[in-house]
Amino acid sequence: MIKVSQLTKKFGSHISLDNVSCEFNKNESIALMGANGAGKTTLIRSILGYYHPDQGEVLINGLNPIKERTKVLQEISFVPQLPPPIKLSLDELIQYVSISAKVDRELILHYANEMKLDIKANLNKSFFKLSGGMKQKMLIAISLAKKSDIIIYDEPTANLDPKARDDFYRLLKQNEEEKVLLFVTHRLEEVKDLVNRQIYMDLGKIVSDETV
Amino acid sequence: MKNLYLIAYLDLKESIRAKWFVVYSLVFGGLIALFFIAGVTESQVMGFSGLSRLLLMYIQITIVILPIFILITTVRSISGDRDNHILEYMLSFPISLKQYYWGKIIGRFITVYLPVLFAMVIAVIYGAFKGADIPWSIFFLYTGLLFALSSAFLGIAFFISSFVKSSEVALGIAFFIWIFLLAFIDIALISLMMQQRFNEELIIFISLANPMELFRVAAISLFDPELTVMGPVAFYILDSISQSMFVLLSIGYPLVLGLIFAFLGYKIFEKKDLV
């Protein structure tokens, strides 16, 4: 599904990804770990087609995420580490997602309720005015409702309380079949039951790749 | 197309809720209200009276404040979203970069143009209500000129926004461009003219390549078709092109300039790393 071949990405003189090659296939749940600056976020952003590589390439189902971004992104759900300060109301954000990615609005509301987010009462509120936990729940609800083949979470539980984390993992368990789940995390113990592959990165390289 | 309209619509809604938009609308609406209260329509200066006089004053002030308003509020549209990671999330959905960029431009254009236009419409309606003669030719000329000027500065703002790394730098560049076009070019050209280093035609050509200067000249051309208040400059302008051609140029040139800058900005946006 995802094929990364000899990918190098530099920012000035700093090498963020150094000749990285790896593949992620269906039914794999991967924990992507490593110290700050190891290159995890750069790898994810390259998969999303945000970066132009200095060398090598990324292919998602055989497609280049930069040249074929709309086709590729139709198959990817992404939740960033920190919810961005989007000024749209929740209703407008749902409208954006449901029109651009053809996601069923009712399904977003369904998953929001499953995440115990009182969405009906907050529909006209600006996204950035919600609490950190509420924002994260909303983004998770959207990611699940999108029904993508590839789900990428960058520290998704950072703002969630223990109860919300349980809800999140329960919903993820129900939705993991036939997908690639990619977690960027510093806390392996939290996703240990979910993942079947662990990748460690350091200084822009993959230093360990184990199937568990 | 659906996504293009979606981006434009959401950007418009977001802008309308923003505080800067309230200030922006109040400034232009307030200007017109102030002119009425101050009795500008009843005064007579250089033979211009009534609504014509009001619109002339409005346009003279607009030439100074509209560009800086557009630059400051728009220059952060892409760079600001990049700065605070909004772009990273919003572009994780299947929207093409073309739709995102041009949708933002359309939304922002409506936001900056409509309050300026509405202020003039209100003036015309109020003037008609008070029984004043409506100077339709001036009204339509100004509508076109403001449209063209808004396009030019919106294009420049999006161009800057596409390549700067931080919002602060974007604001700095925007301010510099505004002050450069507003005053420095004039000062430099006047001094060159006085020293007679270049021939006058070249200096006037450089001057009129500045969209703000062109706007200024075109704005008075309806009141003064011979451009006599401009002195010898009028000779060069009207000797080269007819007055109606000059009006067309003053609308067409900033419009094309804005489109060129917007297109260059898009090319940079497309070729650079997105976040």
Alpha helices in chain B (DSSP H): 2-17, 19-37, 50-74, 77-83, 86-90, 97-129, 136-163, 167-179, 185-195, 200-209, 211-221, 232-240, 243-271
Give the whole-angstrom CA distance, residue B262 versus residue B275: 20
Asked if A99 lies within 8 A of B6 by C-beta distance, the reply is yes
Residues B211 and B253: beta-carbon distance below 8 Å: yes
Specify the 3-state DSSP secondary structure of A72.
Answer: helix
Percent residues over pLDDT 90 in chain B = 38
Q: Which residues in chain A touch residue B21, judged by CB atoms under 8 angstroms apart?
A: none
Per-residue pLDDT at A8 exceeds 60? yes
> A–B: how many Cβ contacts below 8 A?
77
The number of residues in chain B equals 275
Q: What is the mean pLDDT of residues B171-198?
A: 79
Q: Which residues in chain A touch residue B18, judged by CB atoms under 8 angstroms apart?
A: 87
pLDDT digits 0-9 by tens, A117-141: 999 899 999 999 999 999 999 999 9
B113: which strand partners?
none
Mean confidence (pLDDT) of chain A? 93
Please give the model's pTM, rounded to 2 decimal places.
0.91
Per-residue pLDDT at A27 exceeds 80? yes
Give the whole-angstrom CA distance, residue B194 versus residue A55: 56
Predicted confidence at residue B38, as pLDDT, reads 74
Q: Which residues in chain A touch residue B91, judged by CB atoms under 8 angstroms apart?
A: 48, 50
Q: What is the mean pLDDT of residues B207-218?
A: 83
The distance of B15 to chain A (nearest Cα, Å) reads 9
Q: Which residues in chain A touch residue B274, judged by CB atoms under 8 angstroms apart?
A: 49-51
Per-residue pLDDT at A31 exceeds 90? yes
Q: What is the mean pLDDT of residues A183-207?
A: 90
Per-residue pLDDT at B192 exceeds 90? no
Mean confidence (pLDDT) of chain B? 85
Q: Which residues in chain A touch residue B4, judged by CB atoms under 8 angstroms apart?
A: none
Q: Which of A49-53, A155-159, A161-165, B14-18 has the lowest mean pLDDT?
A: A155-159
Residues A155 and A184: beta-carbon distance below 8 Å: yes
Query: Across the interface, which of B84, B94, B273 has its CB nearest the CB of A85?
Result: B84
Q: Which of A82-91, B174-183, B186-195 has the lowest mean pLDDT?
A: B186-195
Specify the 3-state DSSP secondary structure of A60.
Answer: strand
Give the whole-angstrom CA distance, residue B268 versus residue B263: 9
Q: Which residues contact A155 (CB under 8 A, 6 or more apart)?
A: A81, A184, A185, A186
Spell out which chain B residues touch chain A, with contact meaning CB-CB distance below 8 angstroms. 2-3, 6, 10, 13-14, 17-18, 84-86, 88-97, 271-275
The distance of A151 to chain B (nearest Cα, Å) reads 11
Higher pLDDT, B235 or B204: B204
Nearest to A189 by CA among A163, A165, A159: A165
Residues B200 and B226: beta-carbon distance below 8 Å: no
The distance of A146 to chain B (nearest Cα, Å) reads 10
Predicted confidence at residue B244, as pLDDT, reads 83
Percent residues over pLDDT 70 in chain B = 89
Per-residue pLDDT at B219 exceeds 70? yes
Asked if B94 lies within 8 A of A74 by C-beta distance, the reply is yes
* Longest CA–CA separation in chain A, Å: 49
Residue of chain B nearest A66, judged by CA positions: B270
Spell out which chain A residues touch chain B, with contact meaning CB-CB distance below 8 angstroms. 45, 48-52, 69-74, 76-78, 80, 82-88, 92, 95-97, 99-101, 126, 139
